[in-house]
Structure 1
Amino acid sequence: MKTIINTNFGKILAIAIFSMVTFSASAQEEETTPKFSFSGTVDAYYRANITAPNDEEAIAPGSSFAQLPGFSLGMANLIAAYEGEKVGFVADLVFGPRGTDAIFESPMYSATGDIINQLYVYWNVSDAVTLTFGNFNTFLGYEVISPAANFNYSTSYLFSYGPFSHTGLKADFDLGNEWSAMVAVMNPTDLTEFNPTGDYAVGAQLGYSGQFLNFLYSQGGFEIDYTGGFDLSDEFFLGINAAHFSMEDDGGSFTGAALYPQYAISDTFSLGLRGEYFMETDEFGAIGEVFDADGDASVLALTLTGSATIGNLILKPEVRLDSASEDTFIDHDLAPTSSLASVLFAAIYSF
């Protein structure tokens, strides 16, 4: 009898050990199985001026994207990603006016079909170090190219004047206790397929608990940027962005700051205001060049946006007022004026 009990116990123990090993192997295989994902967005919008004619495409805020009149297209954004245990890649393609604007400085602009937004590989060297090689969107600023990741549909002047993308090698470090850091060596700003100049840009970032201090030096231009935000309550979030850019040898500069208070009225509807002040010197002169203004220029832009979620669809009604220091716009009588009021309605589908 004793022998039978011991034999059965041995069988039971063997089965238990085999089961645990099998379960552990299955769990490890499930944990380390590479994952391929496909995601993206599709967006379109309607925009109209309140204080200016709507038959002139140029009469629009001086920031990037969402500038076309009437019913207009945004872009289709298709992202394929492969995530292995240690290595992976991201191929991010864009189609449409917004995507074309996002890669406007590409030296191979026509050869690539105006579609490559990001294209990079990465290696998780350890739990604390990740290396990224290729073309990736900028680490500076509060806003991004994808409309689904911004609260406001139209973009800020700070975003529009800052870099959109970089190509190079960057290293991200998890320093522990909510601290992070990044260093990068890249082609000059927005030159994404290759380097036609022989110059290189350097970038760095220091982060703590969702607050980031960013630095970029590229071809005689230096930019320092702060991006962050705070949850003031369960419903109320305040985002912050401030930056200063200057060129060597009196090549001009710009400075700006923006606040993004956002309040969740319900689980499916939120309101957000972007209040931005932006100024540039006469030597830099981008606002002046576009509108033939002389001297230093500045603009105060207030944008009120609603965000309603219906499944994977986001609807965004928006009212925007741009008030410049120069007569950079026109009114209904075609007379120069310093302000422009406009409205838009955007629809963004994410998958």
Structure 2
Amino acid sequence: MKTIINTKFAKKILFAALAIVSVQGFSQEEEEKPKFEFTGSVDAYYRSNITAPNGEDAIAPESSFANLDGFALGMANVIASYEGEKVGFVGDLVFGPRGTDAIFASPMYSATGDIVNQLYVYWNVSDAVTLTFGNFNTFLGYEVISPVANFNYSTSYLFSYGPFSHTGLKADFDLGNEWSAMLAVMNPTDLTELNGTGDYAVGAQLGYSGQFLNLLYSQGGFEIDYTGGFDLSEEFFLGINAAHFSQEDDGGSFTGVALYPQYKTSDTFTIGLRGEYFMTGDFFGDIAGIGSDVDGDGSVLALTLTGSATIGDLILKPEIRLDSSSEDVFIDNDREATGSLASVLFAAIYSF
């Protein structure tokens, strides 16, 4: 009897072990199965000046996006991606004013307006090396094109004057112990559809524990950029961005620094301030920078207070912004030149 019982018990153990192995094998197959995703966002906003006219004479800060008057559209962002075990792709399409502004230097191949924000393939050569080929958003700076990934809805001058996107080949390296590096060869900055110049840009990045030092050389212009941030407590985060750009042969320059303190008051609401100081010197020669005088030199101090409330997949962002320039580049409600501008904005962003 004992022999029979023990045999039955052994069979049960064997069957259980086989079942566990089968489940584990099935789970591993599920985990390793290639994954296709369809994601994106839709955003719209309302913007109004406080110290300047609205309507026909409306003005706005000289930074990118979120500068339209009254009720206005951002963009629809549709992203298709495929992640295999070793290879994958991303196709990122944008429709609307924000998307059109983001790809301003790619005007050639769409009868209805350019819609390609990113389009690249990648190969995970090993656990430590990834190669990316195609059109990808820039690796410089704290802010990005998508409003979902930015805390403030309006953008900084540092973001607006820096590169938006690149087309080329880049290699990302995981160096271990929280260190990373990247090397890239690309078309000139923001020429994403084709080269057209015969020149090429080179880029590099060194990262450690969420802090990044970025370098870019393109058509005689060199930019060095630091982007990072620190969790000062569970509720308080401080983001930092600083950059300097200079063009060869006195072609112009800019220098700026922005701080992003953000305080999380609850699971669904965070309040944050972007404080930025930005100055230009004879920017690109014939193209004046913000607040430029007759010599092409100028500066601006911009303070942007933003609240961010989440309701499921919807993000609501009320915002007040104060821009103060070294020169009288704005107008007041009496249509007189002035060096400052106060405005308010309310944005709604849905991500899926």
TM (norm. structure 2) is 0.94
Q: What is the distance in 2 between the residues matched to 1:7 and 1:112?
A: 74
1:65 maps to which residue? 65
Matched length: 351
2:309 counterpart residue number: 308
Match of 1:153 in 2: 153
Residue in 2 aligned with 1:25? 25
The answer for the alignment partner of 1:219 in structure 2 is 219
- Distance (whole Å) between structure 1 residues aligned to residue 148 and residue 260 of structure 2: 16
List per-residue Cα deviations over 1:122-178 (Å, max 9, x = no partner). Answer: 111111111111111000000000111111000000000000001111111111111
Q: Deviations over 1:202-230 (max 9, x none)?
A: 10000011100000001111000000001
Which residue of 1 is the match for residue 74 of structure 2?
Answer: 74
CA-atom RMSD in angstroms:
2.0
Query: Is this contact kept in 2: 1:119–1:134, CA < 8 A?
Result: yes
Query: Residue type of the partner of 2:210?
Result: G
Residue equivalent to 2:267:
267
Q: Distance in 1 between matches of 2:45 and 2:283?
A: 35
The alpha-carbon distance between structure 1 residues 197 and 348, as it changes in their structure 2 partners (threshold 3 A), is same
- 1:311 and 1:43 mapped to 2: Cα distance? 15
1:128 aligns with 128
In the TM superposition, 1:1-351 aligns within 5 A as 4=4, 8=8, 11-12=11-12, 14-56=14-56, 59-108=59-108, 110-111=110-111, 113-284=113-284, 288=288, 293-295=293-295, 296-351=297-352
In 1, distance between residues paired with 2:283 and 2:44?
36
Task: Deviation per CA, 1:261-312: give whole Å up to 9, x if none.
Answer: 1111111111110000000102536873687842201101010111111111
1:55, distance to aligned residue in structure 2 (A):
2.0
Alignment partner of 1:288: what SS?
coil
TM superposition shift of 1:24: 3.1
Given that residues 254 and 284 in structure 1 are in contact (C-alpha distance below 8 angstroms), is that contact kept between their aligned partners in structure 2? no
Runs of 4+ more than 6 Å apart: 289-292
Unmatched 5+ residue regions in structure 2? none
Task: Report the 3-state secondary structure (helix = DSSP H, G, I; strand = E; otherwise coil) of the residue aligned with 1:18.
Answer: helix
* Residue aligned with 2:101, SS: helix
In 1, the alpha carbon distance for the partners of 2:46 and 2:228 equals 30
- The letter for the 2-side match of 1:303 is T
- Alpha-carbon offset, residue 349 of structure 1: 0.7
1:196: how far off?
A: 0.7
- For residues 345 and 17 of structure 2, the distance between their equivalents in structure 1, rounded to whole angstroms, comes to 64
Q: 276-285 or 254-263, which moves further after superposition?
A: 276-285
Given that residues 100 and 113 in structure 2 are in contact (C-alpha distance below 8 angstroms), is that contact kept between their aligned partners in structure 1?
no
Compared with structure 1, are the counterparts of its residues 238 and 318 closer, same or farther at alpha carbon in structure 2 (3 Å cutoff)? same
Confirm or deny: 8 A CA contact 1:293 1:327 kept in the other structure: no
- CA shift, 1:7, in A, is 5.6
1:42 shift after superposition? 0.6
What SS does the aligned partner of 1:315 have?
strand
Give SS of 2:24's match. helix
- Could you say if the C-alpha distance between residues 204 and 112 of structure 1 is closer, same or farther in structure 2, counting changes exceeding 3 Å? farther
| Structure 2 counterpart of 1:29, one-letter code | E
Q: How far apart are residue 332 of structure 1 and its match?
A: 1.4
CA deviation after TM superposition for structure 1 residue 313, in Å: 0.8
Q: Residues 215 and 222 of structure 2 are in contact (CA less than 8 Å); yes or no, is this contact kept in structure 1?
A: yes
Return the alpha-carbon distance in structure 2 between the equivalents of residues 131 and 87 of structure 1. 9
TM-score, L = length of structure 1: 0.95
Question: Shift of the alpha carbon at 1:13?
Answer: 5.7
